[in-house]
Every structure is written in structure tokens, then in C-alpha cells.
Structure 1
Amino acid sequence: MKAYVFPGQGAQFTGMGKDLFDSSPKAKEMFERANDILGFDITKIMFEGTPEELKETKVTQPAIFLHSTILAEVMGDAFKPDMVAGHSLGEISALVANRTIAFDDGLKLVYKRALAMQKACESTPSTMAAVLGLEDSTVESICANQDGIVVAANYNCPGQLVISGDIAAVGKACEALKEAGAKRALILPVGGAFHSPLMEPAREELAAAIKETVFTEPACPIYQNVSTFAVTDPKEIQENLIFQLTAPVKWTQSMQNMIKDGATEFVEVGPGNVLQGLMRKIDRGVTTSKAEIS
């Protein structure tokens, strides 16, 4: 069985999507429609922008979404998923690719998500840190014993967990994690505490938009960050997506469940190859590859 997985923030690069734009009339039409929906020329930033311009949350999130969903669309009959999943932002890409949400609606949601998260970041100084070389339970326990807010945010693969919270609490947790034997506990260059309780204002703002969006029966199951199991009920998918911003991304668990359910090949759809790297650390027994247009 073939699983298609969609990357999240951090996979962007200058020139992303240009090959699709140049080679496919369908892709060109979708990119131009995206410019109209967003009200600014995102394709110009994607194709020619500096790394700094691409790092802006309001650009990064829709750019990665566009690269992923347009690639899936122009693959045509070659895109035949038995199941899908997306890492954080990538979950919305996956929901468009498996026909749960329409492309235009997905783009609008991603842009609202980006602006809401940016606003939450600006209201409360916060950060994230990557922790390598410890058991998940050890990281969770140390976070739970800190003053302030610091929680496990991204379960990326065994031995790699990202924590998220207020600046002081994340800093103290990093010190404690190093003392506990972490190979690394490194503050990340991000704008705020994604997938933590500090994203509650953004979750509330996005919840209203998600509730107004039409969710239909998907073409195949999605393994969501919040639940980790196969979901096909549109209402359940909608509810899980609402809670995603304040809940951890359970990527390791989701991938393990996809494998248990029969996935033998994982195809990464979108910029970068981060998810292929994580999969090699989760289970070397499965095949990984990059989606391409024929």
C-alpha cells in the first residue's frame, strides 16, 4: 500500500514550484488563482524571493501548501494514495490532496492559520527547541516539572522530539534535558511556541474558519496529527484539525500506525525531503521516495 505524506513549515526554498509552473498549464492556472485569492504575488516570492522573505509565516505556510497540493494535482493518475498524512501545516495539504477540502478553501484556511499563528507569536514571546537522544517519556517528565509552560510539541521520530513553550521555561527545560543525557537540546529559530497551549488564541480564531469550511468524504483515510489513526469521517477530521494548533504533532505514532495498517511505500509530496529522513529513523523496512511529475 502506498502512503503520501506532506511536509510542514521549514521545507521552503527559493525557486520552489517553478518547475511546476513552467511545465504544466494546470499548475500555472492554480498558482495564478492562488495569487488572486491571497491578494499578493506569492509565486514571485516562491520563485525569486530571498530565504528571509520565504521565512515569513504568512508566506511560508501558503507557499509549502501550494507546492504540495499543485504537485499532487498535476501528477494526475499517478497520484493514487491508499492513505495520506501531513506534518502540521502539511495536514491541510493532505486534506486537499485526498479531496476532503477544496483547493481554494484549503488555501484560505492555510493563510488564516498563518496570520493567526503570527498574531499569537507576537502577543506572547515564546519559542521551541529540538531535543535529541532521549526517550519521549523522559522529555515529557522533565517538561512537566518546569515552572511556566513547556510541552512536547513534535514527536518527529524515535530520539527526536521538539518542545514548545514560553522562553524561560523552554530554556530551563533544555538545561535539565542536557543534564539528563540529551545529545542536544537546541533552541530553534522560530517565531513562537507552535503546538502548545500558547497557540490557544490562534486555535480559537482558526476554529471559526474551519467550521465554515465544507468537509466532504475523503478519497482515502488520513492519519491526523492529533489522533494518529485512520480517519474518514468528515466531521471527525474537522474536529481533529481544530485542535491541531494546540496539540502535539504525533508524527512517529502516525507513521507507525500507517505501517501497521499496511503501508509499505511512503511518497513525500512537496518541497524538501525531511519526511523521508524521519521515516528512515522510524522504520528502515519501508520504501521512501519523492513525488515527481512525469
Structure 2
Amino acid sequence: MKAYIFPGQGAQFTGMGLDLYEKYPIAQELFEKANKILGFSITDVMFEGTADQLKETKVTQPAIFLHSVILAKVLGDSFQPEMVAGHSLGELSALVANGVLTFEDGLKLVSKRALAMQKACEIAPSTMAAVLGLADDVVEETCGEIDGVVVAANYNCPGQLVISGEIEAVEKACEVLTEKGARRALLLPVGGAFHSPMMEPAREELAAAIEATEFSNPTCAVYQNVVAKAVTSPEEIKENLIAQLTAPVKWTQCVQAMIADGGTEFIEVGPGKVLQGLMRKIDRSVAASGAVLAE
């Protein structure tokens, strides 16, 4: 089965989407629609902005969503997903790709999500750190022993887990994990503690927006970050999407579940190759590539 996977924050690059805009009328139409919906020219920042401008959460999240979703639209009839998943923010791209959300509603939710997360980051100083070379259970146990808020946030691939929480607690966890044999435990240049209890204010804000949005029946199952299994019920999809902001991204488990359910070819749709790299570390025997446009 063909599985389409959609990247999250961190995959952005200067000039992203310009080739699509210049070459495909449908892309131009959707980018212009996005500028109107967002109330600012995101295309200016995507096509000509600096890396720092692209790093702003209110820009980054819609930019990656737009690149992914518009690329899927440009693929046309060759885009026939039999299963989809997205890493964190990428889950919203996946939900547009499998018909649960319209382009417009997906973009509005992404924008609200970005602004709500930005606000939550400003309420209390918080951060994330990547931990390499330790078993998941060692990282989980260590987080549980530290005073303050620090939790496992992103299960990216075996031996790569991101932790998230209050700055002091995350720093302390990094020290302890290094003592326990982590190859590396380093703070990430992010605005706050995503996928942790620190995002509760953002979760509440986004919950209201999600509840007010129409979710349709999907054309294929979405493997959601929170539960790491196939979901087809619009109500369940909503619940899991709301929970996602404060719950861990179980990416390793999502991919393993897709393979167990018959996924044989994984195609990354969006900027960068981050997910293809993770795929190789999760299961080398499964084909993983980027979406290829017809000439």
C-alpha cells in the first residue's frame, strides 16, 4: 500500500514553494487564496524572506502546511493515498490530503494553532531537547524522576527522542541522561515546550476552533500522532487532534503501525527530507522517497 507522510516544523527553507507558484496555475491560485485567508502575504516571506523570518511560528506552520498541501494538489491524479500520517503540524496537512478538512479550514486551523502555541510559549519560559542513543524507557523514567515539568515529546525514531518542558527541568534531564550514557542531549532552538503540559493554554484555544470546524469522512485512514493507529471516525480524529498539542508525537509507532497494516511505499510530501531520514532509521527495508512531479 502507498503511504503519504507530511513533515512538521523545522522543514522550512528560504524560497520554498516558489517553483510550484511559477509553474502550476492551481498552486498560484491556492497561494493567493492563502494570502487572503491569513491577512498577510505569506508568499513574500516563503519566496523571498530570510531564514529568521521563516522561523517565526506564525509563518513557519502555515508555510510548511501550504507547501505540503499544494504539492499534493499539483500531483493531481497520481496522488492516490491508501494511508496518510503527518508529524505534529503535518497531521493537518494529512487531513486535507485525505479529504477530512478543506484547504481553507485546514489553513485557518494551522494559523490558529501557530498563534495559540506562540501565546503559550510566552506565558512561561520552556524548551525542548533532543536525546540520542538511549532506549525510550530510560528517557521516560529519567523524565519522571526530575523535579518540574519535563516529558517525552517526540518519538522520532529508535534512539532519537525529544523531551519537552520547563527550561530548568529539561536542562537537568539532559545532565542526568548524559550521565546515563546518552550519545547527545542538546537543547533545541525552539520557542517553547511543544507536546507537553506547557501547551495546555494552546490546547484549550485550539479545541474551540476544532469543535467549530466541519470534519468529513476520510478517503483513507489517518495514523494519528496521539494513538499511533489507523483512525477513520471524524469525531475520533477531532479528539486526537485536540489532544496532540499536549501529548507526545508517536512517530516511530505510527510508521511501524502503517508497515504492519500493509504500508510498503512511503512518500514524503512537503519541504525537506526529514521524514525520509527517519524512515531509514525506523525500517530500512521499506521504500521511502519524496514526491516527484511530472515534467
Whether the TM-score (by the shorter chain) exceeds 0.5 is yes
Offset of residue 109 of structure 1: 0.2
> Structure 1 residue 289 and structure 2 residue 285: aligned?
no
1:176-195 residue pairs with structure 2 within 5 A? 176-195=176-195
Q: Is the 8 A contact 1:8 1:90 kept in 2?
A: yes
Residue 44 (structure 2) aligns with: 44
Q: CA separation in 2, counterparts of 1:142 and 1:227?
A: 23
CA distance in 1, matches of 2:292, 2:75: 7
Q: Give 1:292 deviation, angstroms.
A: 2.4
3-state DSSP of counterpart to 1:284: coil
Q: Distance in 1 between matches of 2:127 and 2:235?
A: 32
Q: Secondary structure at the match of 1:161?
A: strand
Tell me the equivalent position of 1:80.
80
Output the aligned Cα RMSD. Answer: 0.4
Equivalent in the alignment of 2:30: 30
1:129 aligns with 2:161: no
TM-score by length of 2: 0.99
- The residue that corresponds to 1:265 in the other structure is 265
Structure 2 CA distance, aligned partners of 1:24 and 1:5?
22
What secondary structure, in the 3-state scheme, does the structure 2 residue paired with 1:278 have?
A: helix
Q: Deviations over 1:54-111 (max 9, x none)?
A: 0000000000000000000111111011100000000000000110000000000000
Which residue of structure 1 aligns with residue 92 of structure 2?
92
Equivalent residue runs for 1:1-294 within 5 Å: 1-294=1-294
| Cα distance in structure 1, aligned partners of 2:19 and 2:218 | 28
1:199-240 CA-to-partner distances (Å, cap 9, x unmatched) read 000000000000011001001000000010001111100110
| 1:251-287 superposed Cα distances (whole Å, 9 cap, x missing partner) | 0000000000000110000000000000000000100
Give how far 1:44 is off: 0.7
Letter in 2 for 1:109: L
Count how many residue pairs are aligned between Structure 1 and Structure 2: 294
Q: Which runs of at least 4 in structure 1 moved beyond 3 Å after TM superposition?
A: none
Read off the aligned partner of 1:78 and give its amino acid letter.
Answer: S
Equivalent pair of 1:71/1:292 in contact (CA under 8 Å): no
Q: CA deviation at 1:137?
A: 0.1
Q: 1:131, 1:163 within 8 Å by CA — same for their partners in 2? A: yes
Distance 2:292 2:25 in 1: 16
Deviation at 1:293, TM superposition (A): 2.0
Alignment gaps of 5+ in structure 1: none
CA distance in 1, matches of 2:190, 2:292: 29
In the alignment, the residues of structure 1 paired with residue 83 and residue 66 of structure 2 have an alpha-carbon distance, to the nearest angstrom, of 20
The 1-side partners of 2:256 and 2:91 are apart by 17
SS at match of 1:106: helix
C-alpha distance in 1 between matches for 2:234 and 2:122: 33
* Matched-pair contact (CA < 8 Å) for 1:225–1:248: yes
Identity %: 73
Structure 2 residue runs without a partner (length 5+): none
**Whole-Å Cα distance in 2 between the matches of residues 14 and 292 of structure 1?**
20
